[in-house]
Chains A and B, each alone.
Chain A
Amino acid sequence: MEKQEKGFPYGHVIGFLVAVALTIFALLVVFKTSFATSTKFTLIGLMAVFQAALQLFMFMHMTEGNDRDSKVIHTIYAIGMGIVIIVGSIWVMTAGHSIH
């Protein structure tokens, strides 16, 4: 971490540009292409996951500091809970008669 404070923060600038590019791509995919809706969802979903990972590693010090293990545990726990909430909701709301 000490090293990064000196000199020009190339990593942060590149990360920022990639994040902006990913956001623009997502908008382009939705508004300017004629893919099927499910393809659009898959594409922007993938870009969202990639961008989240980018944020975690380039800006949020995921792999730095002396408590990196607990950070990794917390992140995995949060991702697991996110999956439960999102996948669980989709499953429940589309199963059986509930959609009708």
Chain B
Amino acid sequence: MDIKWDKILVGGDPLLVASQIAIVLTTVGIIAALTYFKKWKWLWDEWLTTVDHKKIGIMYILSGVLMFFRGGVDGLMMKAQTAVPENTFLDAQHYNEVFTTHGVIMIIFMAMPMLMGIINIAMPLQIGARDVAYPQLNALSFWLFFSGAMLFNLSFVVGGSPDAGWTSYFPLAGKEFSPGIGNNYYMIAIQIAGIGTLASGINFVVTILKMRTKGMSLMKMPMFTWTALITSLIIIIAFPIFTIALLIGMMDRLYGTHFFTVEAGGLDMLWANLFWLWGHPEVYIVILPAFGIFSDVIATFAKKRLYGYFSMVLAIVIISVLSMLVWVHHFYTMGVGPTVNSVFSITTMLIAIPTGIKMFNWLFTMRKGKIEFTTPMLWSLAFIPTFLIGGVTGVMLAMAAADFQYHNTLFLVAHFHYTLIPGTVYAVFAGLYYWWPKMFGYKLSEKIGKWHFWLFNIGFNVTFFPMFFLGLNGAVRRAYTYSAESGFSTLFLISAIGSIFLAAGFAALVYNIYWSFRHAERNVGNDPWGSGRTLEWSIGSPAPHYNFATLPEVKSIDAFWYMKKEKKGLELRKSDIKPIHMPAKSWIPVYMGAAFFVFGFVLVFEWHILSVIFGLSVLAGLAFRSFDYDSGYYVPVEEIIETEKWRGEIK
């Protein structure tokens, strides 16, 4: 117990003190509001203990939006700091903490939950299932993610943030060079969230392989479901690598082992190797579902079948295999020699081929289509040229010899923002606008949505395009300041101004959610876009909790489109409705989240005796689960008929 209680709260900096006060006030406010409006029971019954995949998805998305705000504020702070040379808004240490949390939060606690949320909501509906294969495990996944995210977010006011970059390279991240507890948060919070992600991966694979409705062979699945399947397979292969790396990193920091240390036979660069063995597949984990969202949105609003369906499937499979074969391109400059670097250059450049196939397929899907410029479609259209810039600069970086010049500059930073923001964030926005009526029963406002789109898009390009040139001129990443003589000032200022538009775009999204919640038209019907192609548009909006009153039969790809066209398979007959078996809610997942949170917290502070005690509380949850024999309940026929009234009279 060498960390004392008086070191827990980080003090001094006015920004931090203000945040601490804000956190306390918000917490008190939420608790007071819940008590005043008598909402505790509702919260517990309807949300905290739910195993409904749609509600879990909504909770994922809500957390993702919150984390987007947190990560975005970090980004704005960095932009404010570098807006003018020799700025003193943030000091070096604070800047290190901010770029570290920005990276971790945006990838692991924003992009991942957003996509997990959208997969949770849309995938079971697209394959005609009533829930995922393991509903309670699904809830556990969410609560582990949530507890990891909260633990990580606590770091900046309690104990200090990690400050070794989102890549957390050893030996810098080791005890030797980072003696504080900040980097313990990294090792433990991400571990907790990672267990949840791994469970989700297994859950989704089983769901897609085993729970497709009658007639839906693998090659008749919607493209989004295909990408969810491949993403889940990559999760299952790649996440255990990170689990192990984090575990032995934690052993190094907490218990004095020497896996990644410089002395005593440790191999510090092994961390980089293991990190990127997970880290590169990870970027495909967040980009493949995004490709799936774009595929579905483009086919819907071009009102055409997706061009080259088979080649699209083949492309994502090839991308998933290649994703495991390129990790060294993140550390060419380690000095592995020309042979290794050349091999990984080639595998990296190969990725451009399947990605190019997908790009052309999207373009050919739109060719001669009747394109409707709805908000989801706008995000998909903007994705193509912006992502192309990210991809082309990626091929530049893939060349090992050239990479020695680009390495560690803002050119690289601009490149990966040009892939991850159009690739993942635009897709998340497209997916949110597209499936919002299926989640809540009303559309988000198209008008405010267009403000959101234009502000965000212009802001994004103005923020990150100058960074390519800054990088080529030699501005390094992760540097908290620069001199006026460097000549970087103008481009840095332009970039900072761009980030204000980016923030305004995000504010427009939040306002849109608020405005639409208050004023948007309800009763949008089952197919609010009027051109839905897949099964989720055949059921009510919002989707009833049992999803499908009767399980549909699929005869071709884009099944719902053909059902509408041929007017077959859509009507609901009273005689076909049977009681529906649904899983019961459970307190165990939320308990496990809480237990892991406390367990993680005492581990972070290296209170070893307490960590044994709270470790037992985690095991207790597992034991309770072993004796949980609740096999669910049946939804009665009358309730189904009542819920399906929007269809008109059911004969």
Contact = CB atoms under 8 A, between A and B. Distances in A.
B233 to A, nearest CB: 8
B507 interface: no
B335 A98 contact: yes
B325 interface: yes
B337 interface: yes
A98 B241 contact: no
Interface residues of B, number: 19
Given A81-B237, A85-B277, A95 B325 contact: no
A84 B267 contact: no
Given A96-B340, A97-B336, A89 B270 contact: yes
Interface string A29-44: 0000000000000000
Given A89-B270, A89-B273, A89-B274, A95 B337 contact: yes
B334 interface: yes
B237 A92 contact: no
Interface in A65-100: 78, 81, 84-85, 88-89, 91-93, 95-98
B106 interface: no
B241 A85 contact: yes
Interface residues of A, number: 13
B237 A78 contact: yes
Contacts of A91: 340
A97 B337 CA distance: 7
Contacts of B273: 89, 92-93
Given A85-B277, A89-B270, A89-B277, A95 B336 contact: yes
Given A81-B324, A84-B324, A85-B277, A92 B241 contact: no
A69 to B, nearest CB: 13
Interface string B315-339: 0000000001101100000111111
Contacts of B325: 84, 88
A32 to B, nearest CB: 24
Interface string B88-117: 000000000000000000000000000000
B241 to A, nearest CB: 6
Interface string B327-371: 110000011111110000000000000000000000000000000
B269 interface: yes
B237 A98 contact: no
Contacts of A84: 324-325
Nearest to A91: B340
A96 B334 CA distance: 9
A93 B270 contact: yes
